[in-house]
Amino acid sequence: MIKYLVKHHKPEILVITPLLTGHKVSKECKKTLKRNKTPFEWITYMGPGNPCKNSQLALNIYKREKPLPPYIIKIDNDIVCQRGMLDTMRMSISVQSNPMIAYCYCSFVFKGAVNMSFPAYPFDAHRLRDTNYISSCSLMDTKKFMDIGGWITNNEGFRLLDWALWLKFLKKGYIGTPHSGTSFMAVASKESVSAGSNDDYHKKREWVLKNFV
């Protein structure tokens, strides 16, 4: 069952936050995401699956109940958004003339158990085939997202399923567009998947390369 955090009669964006059983959306995430003018609906889905699987289940339920908005974004439960993040990302993707642009990504930083910065580098297909530099919290064109069949939910690739998704887009000829004028901060705890070991990372990386490159 999905839970609505924000409802709107005519949303332009569907925000999906997947939750592990017993987890909840942080107060900072709720506060900062609501500081947008673009109409959006925000749903959560709680379950034992990985974030991409829970997001896909949430989307399947939502689209049985109502039409999908033009854009979709998966937002983690612990991020702190810059004011107007959704507004600027929606504007950035909507004015693009290239019909193969399928998503908009922005800069982000990890704080806590992991401390790293990821600028919104220009899109580079060769770089993307080698390593991921695009956040899972990126605004996607719904029609193009549905065209590739949605999220990859395989547990074998969990930790790098966002990278696999961008490569799945690329296989269809779709690309992303960066927007450096906004950003978010992700709070990484010791239990966070991003704080996993290097051995685990390389194991998952090999899985992604084998299946999507």
CATH code of the domain containing 160: 3.90.550.10
Backbone angles phi, psi at 11, to 5 degrees: -75, 150
pLDDT-derived band at 196 (thresholds 50, 70, 90) equals low
Confidence grade of residue 194 (pLDDT, cut at 50, 70, 90)? low
Count the Cβ atoms, other than its own, within 10 Å of residue 93: 22
Residue 116 binned pLDDT confidence (cut-offs 50, 70, 90): confident
* Mean pLDDT taken over the chain: 93
pLDDT in tens, 202-211: 899 999 999 9
Q: Is the pLDDT of residue 192 over 60?
A: no
SS (H, E, C) the chain: CEEEEECCCCCCEEEEEEEECCCCCCHHHHHHHCCCCCCEEEEEEEECCCHHHHHHHHHHHHHHHCCCCCEEEECCCCEEECCCHHHHHHHHHHCCCCCCEEEEEEEEEEEECCCEEECCCCCCHHHHHHCCCCCCCCEEEHHHHHHCCCCCCCHHHCCCHHHHHHHHHHHCCCEEEEEEEEEEEEEECCCCHHHCCHHHHHHHHHHHHHHHC
Domain that holds residue 148: 2-212
Q: Name the residue with higher pLDDT: 111 or 140.
A: 140
Going from the C-alpha of 21 to that of each of 64, 137, 167, 170, the distances in angstroms are 23, 21, 29, 32
* Locus of tokens 């003339």: 97
* Average pLDDT of the residues in 178-185: 93
State the total domains in the chain. 1
Q: What angle do CA 44, 46, 52 make, to 5 degrees?
A: 80
| pLDDT band of 189, cuts 50, 70, 90 | low
More confident of the two residues 38 and 110: 38
pTM of the predicted model as reported, rounded to 2 decimal places: 0.94
Residue 150 confidence (pLDDT) above 80: yes
| pLDDT of 190 above 70 | no
**Token pair recorded at residue 52:** 């991409």
pLDDT in tens, 70-80: 999 999 999 99
pLDDT tens for each residue of 123-137: 999 999 999 999 999
Mean pLDDT of the region 16-42:
96
Q: Using the CB atoms, write b or e for 14-48: b if 16+ within 10 Å.
A: bbbbbbeeeeebeeebeebbeebebebbbbbbbee
Do residues 14 and 72 make contact, with C-beta atoms less than 8 angstroms apart?
Answer: yes
**Is pLDDT larger for residue 15 or for residue 202?**
15
Please check whether residue 67 is in contact with residue 14, taking contact to mean a CB–CB distance below 8 angstroms.
no
- Closest-CA residue to 148 (of 168, 134, 173, 176): 168
Task: Please state the rounded mean pLDDT for residues 36-41.
Answer: 98
Q: Which of 2-6, 156-160, 186-190, 209-213 is predicted least confidently?
A: 186-190
